[in-house]
């Protein structure tokens, strides 16, 4: 089993753990933490998707001529994507935390069960 598969498996495991957290924890901060775990899992999956066995980092330097790069480096695109995804994830998490603050301000609780609901 190569490191790519392990990373992929770990990524999915993290997603599942995070999902479990989102669905079972009732404290809003814990839900946000669980969401971050899911996010991390996805990032891991993305990086694993770009990994190729026994290849090196996609940085063209003295030891790696640009002409040889296609056969020696891993696919750089997923790594670029994961950077964007991490940035978006950061923004989302920050906004969620801001919501948590305001929910506490408005409802005096962080238990998702106890905040005022709209229904039907």
Partner 1 sequence: MVAMFNPIYFVVAGLAAAFLLTLFHNRERLSYFIMIIALSLMMLISLAHLASFLAGTGEIVQVFTAGFAPPFSINFQMGPPEALLTAIVSLVGLLSGIYLSEQLRKTGAYAQAVYIVLVMGMNAMILTRDLFNLFVFLEIVSIATVGILFLSRSRTSVNTGFTYMVASGLISVVLLIGIVFAYMNAGSLNIDTLSESLVMAGRGGSIAVLLITLAFLLELKPFPANGWGIDLYTSAPGALSALISAGGMSATYYALAKVLPVGQWSHDSLVAAVGGITFIASQIIALKQDDSRRLLGYSSIGQIGLLLVVLGFSEALGDRRDFIAAGLLITHALSKSILFYISDMVQDDSLRGWAALRRKPVLLVLFGVAAFALIGFPPFPSFFAKWDLILLLNGGTEGYYLLSAMVLAGSLIEAVYLFRWFSYALKLPHEDLPELASPTSRLIAPVTAALVLAGASWYVSTLVSGFSQSFLIPVAFILLVAVIDRLPAWSKNVISIAGVSLYIADLYPRIAGDLMTMIFAGIFLVGAVLTLLSGFYYKGRRAGFYPMALTMFAGLAALIEAATILEFFWGWELMAIGSYFLLIRGKKSMPHGLSYLLFSIGGSYSILYGFSLAAAGAGGVIAMSSLVGISVMPALAYSLMLLGFLTKTASIGVHIWLPGAHGEAVADIHFMASAILLKAGVFGLITVLLAMGSEAGYTRWILLALGWIGVLSALLGNISAAFQESAKRLLAWSSIGQLGYIVWGLASMSHLGWLIALGYSVTHFLYKGILFLAIGGIALKIGTPYMYKMGGLIKRMPYSFFAVLIAIITLSGVPPLVGFSAKWITYNLIISEQLYYQGFVILIAGIIAFLYLFRMIYTVFLGQLKDNLRSVGEISIWFRIPMYLLLIVILVLSFLPNTLLRPIGDMLSGIFPEEAIVWTGSRGVTSLGYFDGAMIMYVIVGIFVILTILFLLLRKQTQKVKQFNIFYSGEAPSRPELSHFSYNFFAHYRKAVGALALPLVTGFWDRVTEIIHAVSDFIRRIYTGNGQTYLFHIVLYVVVVFLVQSGGYR
Among candidate residues 65, 21, 61, the one with its CA nearest the CA of residue 41: 21
Site string for partner 1, 52-91 (x = CB under 8 A): -------------------------xx--x--xx--x--x
Going from the C-alpha of 98 to that of each of 64, 101, 113, 120, the distances in angstroms are 45, 5, 19, 27
Using CB under 8 A as the binding rule, whether residue 113 contacts partner 1 is answered as yes
- Listed in order, strand segments (DSSP E) in 1-120 are none
Q: Which residue number, 34 or 62, has a Cβ lying nearer to partner 1?
A: 34
Per the DSSP assignment, residues forming a β-bridge with 27 are 111
Using CB under 8 A as the binding rule, whether residue 108 contacts partner 1 is answered as no
Site string for partner 1, 26-55 (x = CB under 8 A): x-x--x---x--xx--x--xx--x------
The piece of 53-61, 63-71, 105-113 that touches partner 1 (CB under 8 A) is 105-113
Q: Which residue number, 63 or 80, has a Cβ lying nearer to partner 1?
A: 80
The minimum distance between CB 62 and partner 1, in angstroms, equals 26
Going from the C-alpha of 18 to that of each of 25, 97, 105, the distances in angstroms are 10, 17, 26
Chain-centre distance for alpha carbon 22? 14
């Amino acid at each position: 089993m190569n490191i790519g598969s392990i990373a992929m498996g770990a990524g999915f495991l993290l997603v599942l753990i995070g999902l479990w957290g989102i669905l079972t924890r009732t404290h809003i901060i814990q839900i946000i933490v669980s969401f971050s775990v899911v996010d991390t899992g996805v990032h891991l999956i993305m990086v694993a998707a770009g990994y190729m066995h026994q290849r090196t980092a996609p940085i063209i330097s003295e030891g790696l001529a640009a002409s040889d790069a296609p056969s020696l480096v891993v696919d750089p695109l997923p790594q670029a994507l994961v950077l964007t995804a991490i940035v978006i994830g950061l923004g989302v998490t920050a906004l969620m935390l801001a919501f948590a603050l305001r929910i506490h301000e408005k409802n005096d609780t962080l238990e998702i069960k106890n905040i005022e609901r709209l229904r039907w």
